[in-house]
Chains A and B, each alone.
Chain A
Amino acid sequence: MAEMNLWGQLPTVEVRRTPYVILREQAALLGQMTENLLEGHVEKGREGSKFAAKLNIVAPTLDHYTYTVLHVDYPVALYPLKVWDTGEGAFRECGNDAEFVEAVGEILSSDRVKRVIAGLLSQIRSDAPTPA
């Protein structure tokens, strides 16, 4: 008897940038912009039935001090998702990737995050040995 396909037609997979990938791009940019004095790290995990990721600023020369900028929880379908702005102490809901990019942009370019980056860079540079 011929094999039957009980799967039917599989859905066409649209390649989408996941929130994790979007965060990783931003993490890589931080290293480039600070000559790797600061690094962006993205951790991936699970939060209940959802995927979770968090974006950290890491200062390797300050004993790997870590500042968590934001967390995101997203379902298998990616959206809608929730972004937790750690500095603001507030959740933001995003219905699609444009809204997610906008929310992440607002957080990363906020005065609060700039102050953190400036504080860390200043600390790192003041700790650096002075050339003889």
Chain B
Amino acid sequence: MALCHTHDVDILILAESEIYGPHLLLTLNKGRPRKFCTPFELSPRLSFFIRYPSDCLKPVSDGGGVAIRRFRPPVGLEILLGAMHLPSKLHYDDVDQMSLSHRAADAIQQAERRVGHARTVVVGDLNMNPFEPGVAGADGFHGIMDKRIARRGARTVQGKSRRFFYNPMWGHMGDASKGPPGTYYYDSSKQVNLYWHTFDQVMVRPDLLDFFPDDRLEVLAGVGDQPLLSPRGTPDKSVGSDHLPLLFDIEIEKGI
């Protein structure tokens, strides 16, 4: 709640939220002039709360931790919003994850064909890092780190044109990044232990690059005075979640 108020959030997307939706709405809206509402919702794992009229967010498709919505604000740019909560590495191997990210990326492309544009934002817990094949690979989301290359739109791989996503999360990994080294912390005994993972990501299609200010993207380590990290510096589930939230801006009113 504090996060929404502090950052003047217009669209809140939660994955696997254990908070009962109506209770959250009551708390979010208490004493607030602009109210959140929940549009018609069938996603089993993702919830949307918006500070726009409820018919601004229309469901396009759901399935397998993928919820695709068409967002048409009263004023401004229409966008396609793909919220993701893909399966965990604890239960699925790399091949399964690749296969499911291929399907998720395919669902996004089908939705783009249906709505007739590719002003698409993908956001959520992909349970994969930006460098993994399911995120970076052409058969997956094809999320790349360089805006200039993303502006080319697509590249041909094995005879098929594959559209890019620009993935700014490449710049949000490690100590040199602004904010925490990742969005999720997991200490394992395996040979390779990354400790920090950037499973929570936002990616935009080239058509939205001019509306996506990189410097407005943050991995939040705290909300107001409340840290979301424990004294050890890892996400503190007791005050928030074991994943850190992402905050970003799409300038839908730009260029009106």
Residues of A within 8 A of B (CB): 45, 47-48, 54, 56, 62-69, 71, 73, 84, 86-87, 89-91, 112, 116, 119-120, 123
The answer to whether A66 and B96 touch across the interface, beta carbons within 8 angstroms, is: no
The answer to whether B62 and A67 touch across the interface, beta carbons within 8 angstroms, is: yes
- Per DSSP, chain B at the interface is mixed
- Closest CB in chain A relative to B138 CB, distance in Å: 14
Interface bits B241-253 vs A (CB < 8 Å: 1, else 0): 0000000000000
- Closest CB in chain A relative to B177 CB, distance in Å: 30
Complex: A67 Cα to B60 Cα, angstroms:
9
CB-contact partner of B64 in A62, A73, A84, A116, under 8 A: A84
- Total A-B pairs in contact (CB under 8 Å)? 57
B63 within 8 A of A: yes
Complex: A45 Cα to B58 Cα, angstroms:
27
The answer to whether A71 and B64 touch across the interface, beta carbons within 8 angstroms, is: yes
Known: A63-B60, A67-B62, A69-B63. A87 touches B44 (CB 8 A): yes
Per CB-CB distance, the 7 closest pairs between chain A and chain B, nearest first, are A68-B63, A86-B64, A66-B61, A86-B63, A67-B62, A87-B44, A65-B59
The answer to whether A66 and B103 touch across the interface, beta carbons within 8 angstroms, is: no
B41, closest chain A residue (CB):
A119
The answer to whether A68 and B42 touch across the interface, beta carbons within 8 angstroms, is: no
CB-contact partner of A120 in B42, B64, B87, B114, under 8 A: B42
The answer to whether A68 and B64 touch across the interface, beta carbons within 8 angstroms, is: yes
Contacts of A56 in B (CB 8 A): 61, 63
